[in-house]
Amino acid sequence: MLLFRGLLLSLLAGLAAPVLAAGAVVTTEQVRAELVAHAPDGVQPGKPLWLGLAIEHAPHWHTYWKNPGDSGLPTTLQWQLPPGVAAGEIDWPTPKRLPIGPLVNYGFEGSLLLPVPVTVPANFGADSLRVQLHADWLVCKDVCIPESGEFVLDVPARSATVGQAARFEAAFAARPQPAAGVQAQASVVDGALQVVVAGLPAAWQGGTPAFFPETAGVVDNAAVPASTWQAGQWTVRVPLSAQRSESPARMAAVLTQPGTAAGTRIEFAVAGPWPAVAPLPGEENAAAAAPTPPPAPTLGLAAALLFALAGGALLNLMPCVFPVLSLKVLGFASHAEDRRMLALGGLAYTAGVVLSFVALAGLLLALRAGGEQLGWGFQLQSPVVIAVLAALFTLIGLNLAGVFEFGSVLPSSLAALQLRHPLVDALLTGVLAVAVASPCTAPFMGASLGLAVTLPVGQALAVFAALGLGMALPYLAASLFPGLARMLPRPGAWMARFKTLMAFPMFATVVWLVWVIGQQTGIDGAAALLATLLALAFIAWALGTPGIGHVARAAFGAVGVLGLAAALAWMLPAFEASAAARTGAAPTSAWQPWSEQRVAEARAAGRPVFVDFTAAWCVTCQYNKRATLADAQVMKDFADRGVLLLRADWTRRDAAITAELARFGRSGVPVYALYGPGQGAPQLLSEILSVREVRDALSRL
């Protein structure tokens, strides 16, 4: 048990590894980023000098342009240069359209170089130019990962640096060029930006140029522009965004012809009047392109501590926690007459739970401070973590069922470790309980967790510590008070039968974890995990069953290891491609995938919206989905009132959903938001829904 719990803790700690490097190259699974220089005449005043960040994207991954489109973030560069040396702005290459469902983004795939011009002062006399760069980029495929890098490069001052010339020439060729004689003017007409361009080259006449606005948050990027040619002038009409955040007097855009790498850059004044800027849901005149800060907390610290204590106690009722607590029940019965050991075990278990909650919360707060879009329960957004938990619970269940004994597998010193150190075992049982309990956002916890991530670190950790204390409180009370301890049955033969019985909750937990994997990775990922668990069970039987000879044990073990290797070779690539297997709501379902744009469009049309923020690993979410949200009368009320039903699936990390939860002051799921027509703030319903609560909320629309 200690061995597997140690593996679990190591895996969770590894989630905090930052993407940083000290050198000219940073490599991740998604990109290879390199700081490069181009100085044909060395580092001299008045001579051309270019720096740049070269990015090689893994297949199907992309980063973003200066205007990322409907989502995403542009790459940013922060330079540290010697006094007097100044770096200019990124000379952006021409982007490409990146459609993602109903959204359209602008960015880059494959090989990319972001060149930056550098000016050198007249008194520069060093032998080399020391360049330091901190770069941040968002790389996306079906999921988005914020990454960053620290780069250092020394550029010789007295010799030419032309090794990167081909890269820079390709970047210069790909940047949009101002076309001589091209003039543009624009106006806002009937909710659209109308741009008239004159003087385009003859080769463009009659074509359909692509339109890339440099200013974010103005036009509807996913809309198909309407364009016409008349008397050599090209007119394009692009609908304004329903979530428009700006009304600029001047704009710039890049026009490209199909099949060309570079484009033509145009600038133009915009004649109004502009329509009123539409506020975001629950907010007034906020910038649509950036996540808004959470609302001022309405829950005080003392109330948050009490609610966290109550929510932690209710976590013990969650089915994902019960199998772990069953292990402690066995130990309880074994020490029913030893009150000292019982009390020490309860304190050790409490320490394990509280310290684990604080450590997990500290990791969450640190990653969020570093720019990661994470929420509570984030560890079960990783298929690898779920696979490790499934393997752990499978082995525990097999051990409880008597299929194998750890003493037959481990060296005698390790096999006896749990018996010699029962307090360590109690503490690590608390750690394991937290690992599987944290995704279950029990009642009273949502507001406390949402407030915690907005508080100073010390106060935030106090809220999470109260949550852990609440979870450990029932077991701690039973271990400290003799009256409760005397209610336990005396040790006897029943314990052996109870031990075998407790294997079945373990296997039920494995069923749940495999189902979560299926939601994340599809049928291939779930089947591959089952094959891995089968191979692991065979190895445990071969190595841990008493009475098998050494030769047979070695032969069976070798077969099991080969089977495990084959299963892992199937499972890991399936997990790697898991994002591609994700799907939204089924086409025949009344529910549709959530997006900010869908909410804004429905409300602008006067239609109410109900959003279910959910995740496959959230047991409370699944209960509500199959109970209240499947109730025939509730669904009829939704239909009668024309409510648009949206489901925000947070099973895998989703930066947009995390940001939306933060707007509500929440950091975990479930969250249920009912938007009325218009622009008012949404109603937030309770975590455990009832039919009456939903119907009452609908009646107030």
Beta carbons within 10 angstroms of residue 302's beta carbon:
8
User: What's the mean pLDDT in 278-291?
Assistant: 40
Beta carbons within 10 angstroms of residue 223's beta carbon:
14
Secondary-structure class of domain 183-271 per CATH: mainly beta
| pLDDT value of position 80 | 92
For residue range 538-571, list pLDDT tens digits in order. Answer: 888 888 776 677 788 788 888 888 888 888 887 7
Q: What percent of the chain has pLDDT over 70?
A: 70
Residue-by-residue DSSP string for 291-352: PPPPPPP-S-HHHHHHHHHHHHHHGGGSTTTHHHHHHHHHHHHHTTT-HHHHHHHHHHHHHH
| pLDDT value of position 295 | 39
Higher-scoring residue by pLDDT: 604, 578 = 604
| pLDDT value of position 494 | 59
| pLDDT value of position 326 | 53
- Say which amino acid occupies 292: T
441 by DSSP, 3-state: which?
coil
- Say which amino acid occupies 353: V
| pLDDT value of position 5 | 41
DSSP state of 120: -
Q: How confident is the model at residue 15 (pLDDT cuts 50, 70, 90)?
A: very low
Residues 227 and 208 sit within 8 Å (Cβ to Cβ): yes
For residue range 16-42, list pLDDT tens digits in order. Answer: 333 333 468 999 889 999 999 988 888
Out of 13-22, 167-176, 237-246, least confident range: 13-22
pLDDT reading at 446 higher than 80: no
Residues 172 and 115 sit within 8 Å (Cβ to Cβ): yes
| pLDDT value of position 493 | 63
Integer Cα distance of 441 and 660 in angstroms: 17
DSSP state of 206: T
507 by DSSP, 3-state: which?
helix
Residues 2 and 428 sit within 8 Å (Cβ to Cβ): yes
| pLDDT value of position 76 | 92
H and E: helices and strands count for the chain? 22, 24
- Say which amino acid occupies 312: G
Residues 120 and 44 sit within 8 Å (Cβ to Cβ): yes
- Say which amino acid occupies 261: A
Mean pLDDT, rounded, of the chain: 75
Taking only Cα atoms into account, the Rg of the chain, rounded to an integer number of angstroms, comes to 30
| pLDDT value of position 645 | 94
User: What's the mean pLDDT in 106-120?
Assistant: 93
Read off the tokens for 48: 């051309």
User: What's the mean pLDDT in 459-487?
Assistant: 72
Could you give the angle at which helices 422-437 and 383-400 cross, rounded to 10 degrees?
130
Integer Cα distance of 637 and 515 in angstroms: 30
| pLDDT value of position 544 | 74
Q: Each residue of 161-198: b (16+ CB within 10 Å) or e?
A: beebeebbeebbebbbeebeebebebebeeebbbbebe
Residues 325 and 475 sit within 8 Å (Cβ to Cβ): yes
Out of 18-32, 236-250, 519-533, 540-554, least confident range: 18-32
The CATH code of domain 16-174 reads: 2.60.40.1250
Residues 600 and 242 sit within 8 Å (Cβ to Cβ): yes
| pLDDT value of position 213 | 93
- Say which amino acid occupies 377: G
Higher-scoring residue by pLDDT: 220, 343 = 220
| pLDDT value of position 505 | 74
Comparing CA positions, the residue from 291, 684, 596, 646 lying closest to residue 453 is 291
Integer Cα distance of 463 and 190 in angstroms: 51
The CA-based angle 573-577-579, given to 5 degrees, is 150
488 by DSSP, 3-state: which?
coil
| pLDDT value of position 95 | 93
C-alpha atoms less than 13 angstroms from C-alpha of 201 in its C-beta half-sphere: 12
Q: Which of the listed CATH numbers 3.40.50.2000, 3.40.30.10, 3.40.50.920, 3.30.360.10 matches domain 592-699?
A: 3.40.30.10
Comparing CA positions, the residue from 583, 535, 523 lying closest to residue 561 is 535
Integer Cα distance of 328 and 422 in angstroms: 11
Out of 83-97, 293-307, 523-537, 654-668, least confident range: 293-307
Residues 51 and 87 sit within 8 Å (Cβ to Cβ): yes
The domains spanning 16-174 and 183-271 adopt the same CATH topology = yes
pLDDT reading at 322 higher than 60: no
Q: How far is CA 119 from the centre of its chain?
A: 40
Out of 16-20, 126-130, 230-234, 389-393, least confident range: 16-20
Read off the tokens for 549: 């000879």
Read off the tokens for 305: 């501590």
H-helix or E-strand spanning residue 695: helix 691-699
pLDDT reading at 683 higher than 50: yes
User: What's the mean pLDDT in 163-174?
Assistant: 87
Read off the tokens for 673: 């938001």
User: What's the mean pLDDT in 95-112?
Assistant: 86
User: What's the mean pLDDT in 285-312?
Assistant: 53
pLDDT reading at 699 higher than 70: yes
| pLDDT value of position 693 | 92
Q: How far is CA 53 from the centre of its chain?
A: 25
Out of 261-265, 587-591, 690-694, least confident range: 587-591
DSSP state of 665: T
| pLDDT value of position 496 | 65
| pLDDT value of position 288 | 37
Q: How confident is the model at residue 659 (pLDDT cuts 50, 70, 90)?
A: confident
For residue range 449-471, list pLDDT tens digits in order. Answer: 545 555 566 776 777 788 778 77
588 by DSSP, 3-state: which?
coil
Domain boundaries, the chain: 16-174, 183-271, 304-581, 592-699
Residue 493, classified by CB atoms within 10 Å of its CB into exposed (0-12), middle (13-18) or buried (19+), is exposed
Read off the tokens for 165: 């010339």
Beta carbons within 10 angstroms of residue 229's beta carbon:
14
Measure Cα distances from 123 to 37, 86, 294 in Å.
21, 13, 49
Integer Cα distance of 96 and 408 in angstroms: 60
| pLDDT value of position 405 | 62
| pLDDT value of position 66 | 93
Q: How confident is the model at residue 634 (pLDDT cuts 50, 70, 90)?
A: very high
H-helix or E-strand spanning residue 526: helix 503-544
C-alpha atoms less than 13 angstroms from C-alpha of 250 in its C-beta half-sphere: 3
